Amino acid sequence: MEHTYLRYECADAFALTTSSASSRAPQSNSIVSFLGDGSPKDPLMTTAGSQCLGFSLKQNRLCLKLGHREHLTGGVGTGRALNSDEVVCLTTSGDKVATGWLDGAVRVFDVNSKDVANDAGLVHSLIHDEDEDEFVVREPLLLQGHLNTPVRSICFAQGETRLASGGSDGSVVLWDVVAETGLFRLLGHRGGITEIMFVRLGNFDGLITASLDGLVKVWDLNGQCCNQTIANHRGEVWGAACARIGVLENEEEDRVRLVTGSTDGQVRVWAVQEPKRNAATDTDTEKETASDIRDDDVCHYMGSLIPPPNVSTSTEKVQTIHYHPNVRYVGVLHSGSKSVDVYLIRSAQESLRKKQRRLRRRREKKGIATDEQATGGKKRGILDDPESSGDDQERPEDVSGEALDPKRLKASDEFEYYGMARASHKIRGFTFVPFKERGGGIRVVCALSTNALETLALIKKKNPDDGKNVVVCEKVSMLDMYGHPTGIRSIALSSDDELACTVSKNVTKIWNVDNRSCVHSISPSPLAKRKEGGSAGCYGLCATFLPGNSHVVLGTREGHLLVVDIASGDVVYTEEKAHDGAIWSLDLRRPTQQQETTAIVTGSADKTVKFWEIEVQDEDEEEAGQPMVVHTRTLQMTDDVVAVRYSHSTDPSKRLVFASTLDSTIKVFFDDTLKFFLSLYGHKLPALAVDSSDDDMILASSGADKAIKIWGLDFGDTHRTLYGHGDSVTDLRFVNRTHNFFTSSKDGTVRYWDGDRFEQILVLNGHCAEVNCLAVSRTGAFVLTGGMDRQVRVWERTRDMVFLEEERERELEQVFDKVQGDDRETASIMRRRDESDMNGEVDQEADGDQPQSEAAVKRSVLSVSSGDRIMEALERADQELKEAAVFRKSEGGQATTRMANPLLLGLEPAQYILWILRSIKSAELEQSLLVLPLGHLERLIYYLIVLLRSGRGVELCSRVAIFMIKTHQNQLVATRKLAIPLRELRRLVRMRLSQDRDTVGFNLAALRTIARVAQENKNSHFNADDAQSKDIWAGLGLGSDVAAALEQKGGRRTNWS
């Protein structure tokens, strides 16, 4: 009989405020955005690993968590676990949050304002019942159309009905959020999409995309083609923003400006106008010539944004560009910079006056130059000097490769440098605060590289020296409580599993495991430095809780041992220079009946293993009653000590000490006498972690050579060497009362092993970077892991059973999902053509025949299984019809009722087909239908006709019929026996859709009427003399006549049939 195990799944993740770009996830510009309509109560959404977090800036706390459940293939798992994907980008529109993920999926969350107010879903656990602590209120809308490439940019259209997403492969997919399906995929870019913007100008419905290939493309969404390509940038285009900033005087067109930034550090401005071909009439079209083709461009260059000479700005690449919600400011962030440059957008009147001053100055310069030529170049005053500086002086940097018409508006006419928002650390992303504050000015929220959020305010104040208004940057708030600034190096659990301690560079945090909240954030430093006023913290490497769970012992890279009081968050004792080198590992020996003292062992890079006992400080000391460490013994080693560990035996004479050294050996000593017992050889590189089972029968070690070795403690023999990790194995811990253990690795995975059968049980994915440490609870109910992605993930044991054969099959299905699509897809063809172009194999004739759009579908295991379900349903329905016909024939026309078929859920065959079609997700329906062969398609058409005749599922049946006919047009036309069914299907589709259209139109007209009457009643004054209100349907048709008759009789309309 096959051995079974209990499954561990990720229940939650915490300790992350905003995630940074990892080795797998590309950098994105859309990582922070405000939710809602601009109210001060609206949370700020950030990308945080596998979740989207919402923070309240008013209360400076976490108030919302968004994430989706992970549904494993094969029906295994609880279906309530936190996903193992990584969110790359997000955008908001009202109460909707659209997110782009690493696996190419787009998920749209619908957030309720009550969830934000009630702090719903902040803690998610799999141990509790399903009705408790739900992670999110509802599952998000899933849209899959990108071919397994990360989605790095996403944008909502105005009205929330359309959504555009751009992938790292250069494809852009347009989605219909209401229909829950992809409209089409745009092809043309050869680099990752960095920004997407919708543009609506009169009759032109467009989309602007910026890419790493150095191009900015303007797409016509009606024609699904590229309308203009801007190639003026001198490198990759990283940032772009487009907005309508007003209307010019005496002109009907709006001021729509596109601001772009590339690797050359220059910020360019483009005027976005409706193409003249779209706006022209038929008479104007006839007058067009070949020279007017350039006038059909949408974007026209206006110049670049140049900061004043006295302002020091970064010259690195432009990373992010955002408009303020009131469209009066625009912010520019350079890569690796600590500041955001903010530009003020002048009004239409101010821009025209600025242009007039510039033109007047230009005429004066020309006149001065003419006079100088006439007088031999003699200068007559400073006003005549063409080299004089001023705000109206033209700068050569404003001119690009193409000549600009001086009579047109330039970027310097509309944009003015406003100020600089400077943060305390490097900025990864920013957004403007959409609501006004009491202090005035504008506020910028910056996502820092230190896993924190900082709010800055730009306020105008008078300079006391000259009395002029100066823009000053002030720090408003800092939210750094919920995350580590650097990667987590160590994690420890208290004896009651209620508290957790995480250690990183200069920061140690104490967490409440139950509610995932931070109890204390400590920057530990020695007492001597703290008394002297020093604030520099120590670099923590390892930690453990003392008995009583009121103190934590820290080992640092400087060689200090610090004792921290959890209640106060202060360092109560410091053993400076406990080691001459870094303390890489420490372990606690708990008191027993035979040995009541508490001790710790430390291993350091100074080639020593030291033993310490925990004692209480005397009353004479400043920290009287607090614990302290006293050095008792020293064990000299031949090389640096990487890891130390006590065995679990309670007998002092049998307790062992394991020490892993840099020479790739593990030494075993007796704890009481420090007598040498065993030397374990076998690792090719140093063993980074060691641990023994609670019965001290076996010892497991994991090393930098990617190997896990299981040793017998009787003779020191190697039982088995296990391989599975793709990089160094950093930590290893046994589950109590079992021989099963967990390992963490630099490959970003956590694995669960059976030490008796030498098999891998589970692979736990979810971390975005190296996993450095793990901690197992005393009962094995949950496991905490931390790594360089600065997040702590909680893995909980569920009641779901694990069968090893099923796990291997599921891994093969995941490999199938990772295949980069079918080679016959258009995107694959274009990629192969790009490779041939690089090799010099260019076909000039076929260069202009490349497709610019295709269907937004993606093949996956779920879509293939859905197609199999449709085929199986068709076969069952046909079999039911045959059995029903045989039954009627055998009864000889007698009125008898046949028992319903339970395989069809008691439904009629056509109704069962409709139920199967409705059970398939809308985004996967088209790809599932492509699996059907032509024979099953004929039967599907028959059932669609039956359903349309009865009026069931009109919208779904029409969509399926139209898609299948468009896809298999050639085969259907060549089949004569389908001519009559197709004509009947066309008649039914037209009739039913016309009826539905009339119904929808009638309902819309009624709703408009109700809204109009309500608006009229709202604006009219109340008259108390009116004893009876008039009917709102008066003057609208048949109902008004009946209402008038009832009103004359003095009666009231009570019921309408």
Closest by CA position to 239, among listed 117, 173, 152: 152
Residue range 422-450: mean pLDDT, rounded: 89
Contact (CB, 8 A) for 775 and 502: no
Mean pLDDT is lowest, of 452-466, 519-533, 871-885, for: 519-533
CA angle, 525 then 526 then 532, to 5°: 95
CA gap 505, 488 in Å, rounded: 8
pLDDT tens-place string over residues 732-756? 999 999 999 999 999 999 999 999 9
Give the contacts of 561 (CB within 8 A, at least 6 positions apart): 553, 554, 555, 574, 575, 578, 583, 602, 612, 629
pLDDT tens-place string over residues 321-355? 999 999 999 999 999 999 999 999 998 888 888 98
pLDDT tens-place string over residues 394-409? 444 444 445 567 778 8
Does pLDDT of 455 surpass 90?
A: yes
Mean pLDDT is lowest, of 332-336, 465-469, 898-902, for: 465-469
Does pLDDT of 186 surpass 60?
A: yes
| Token pair 């109460």: residue | 95
Parallel, antiparallel, or unpaired for β 507-512 and 499-504?
antiparallel
Mean pLDDT is lowest, of 522-536, 678-692, 944-958, for: 522-536
Out of 531-535, 594-598, 641-645, 919-923, the most confident range is: 641-645
Higher confidence at residue 202 or residue 680? 680
Which pLDDT band, with edges at 50, 70 and 90, does 793 fall under? Answer: very high
Contact (CB, 8 A) for 151 and 138: no
- 10 Å Cβ neighbour count for 727? 14
Which pLDDT band, with edges at 50, 70 and 90, does 289 fall under? Answer: very low
CA gap 264, 244 in Å, rounded: 26
CA gap 604, 639 in Å, rounded: 10
Kind and range of the H or E run holding 817: helix 804-817
Mean pLDDT is lowest, of 137-141, 490-494, 935-939, 1019-1023, for: 1019-1023
Query: Which tokens sit at 769?
Result: 């970077």
Which pLDDT band, with edges at 50, 70 and 90, does 382 fall under? Answer: very low
CA gap 435, 83 in Å, rounded: 33
| Token pair 């002086």: residue | 393
Does pLDDT of 471 surpass 80?
A: yes
Mean pLDDT is lowest, of 247-256, 523-532, 829-838, for: 829-838
Higher confidence at residue 1022 or residue 690? 690
Kindly state the greatest CA–CA separation across the chain.
121
What integer pLDDT is reported at residue 192 of this predicted model?
92
Parallel, antiparallel, or unpaired for β 771-776 and 759-765?
unpaired
Question: Over pLDDT 70: what percentage of the chain?
Answer: 82
Which pLDDT band, with edges at 50, 70 and 90, does 696 fall under? Answer: very high
Helix 954-967 to helix 979-1019 angle, to the nearest 10 degrees? 130
Higher confidence at residue 544 or residue 178? 544
Query: What's the predicted TM-score (pTM) here?
Result: 0.84
DSSP string, 437-458: -TT-SEEEEEEETTS-EEEEEE
Which pLDDT band, with edges at 50, 70 and 90, does 1048 fall under? Answer: low
| Token pair 């209401």: residue | 178
Tell me the C-alpha to C-alpha distance, in Å, between residue 384 and each of 380, 406, 493, 772: 6, 21, 78, 69
What integer pLDDT is reported at residue 91 of this predicted model?
94
DSSP string, 15-48: S-SS----SSSPP-S--EEE-BSS-TTPPEEEEE
Give the contacts of 1025 (CB within 8 A, at least 6 positions apart): none
CA gap 903, 1042 in Å, rounded: 52
Does pLDDT of 911 surpass 70?
A: yes
Q: Across the chain, what does the average pLDDT equal?
A: 84
Which pLDDT band, with edges at 50, 70 and 90, does 1001 fall under? Answer: very high
CA 630, 633, 635, 636 torsion-angle sign: positive
pLDDT tens-place string over residues 194-250? 999 999 988 889 999 999 999 999 999 998 999 999 998 889 999 999 999 876 655
CA 810, 811, 812, 815 torsion-angle sign: positive
Torsion angle, alpha carbons of 12, 18, 24, 27, to 10: 160
Which pLDDT band, with edges at 50, 70 and 90, does 424 fall under? Answer: very high
Which pLDDT band, with edges at 50, 70 and 90, does 836 fall under? Answer: low
Residue 193: DSSP 8-state: E
Contact (CB, 8 A) for 789 and 747: no
What integer pLDDT is reported at residue 383 of this predicted model?
41
How would you class 431 by CB atoms within 10 Å of its CB: exposed for 0-12, middle for 13-18, buried for 19 or more? buried
What integer pLDDT is reported at residue 75 of this predicted model?
65
Q: Where are the alpha helices (DSSP H) in 920-978?
A: 922-929, 934-950, 954-967, 969-974
Does pLDDT of 1055 surpass 60?
A: no
pLDDT tens-place string over residues 926-947? 888 888 888 888 899 999 999 9
CA angle, 10 then 792 then 19, to 5°: 105
How would you class 558 by CB atoms within 10 Å of its CB: exposed for 0-12, middle for 13-18, buried for 19 or more? middle
Higher confidence at residue 708 or residue 310? 708
Question: Over pLDDT 90: what percentage of the chain?
Answer: 52
Closest by CA position to 496, among listed 553, 548, 568: 548
What integer pLDDT is reported at residue 534 of this predicted model?
56
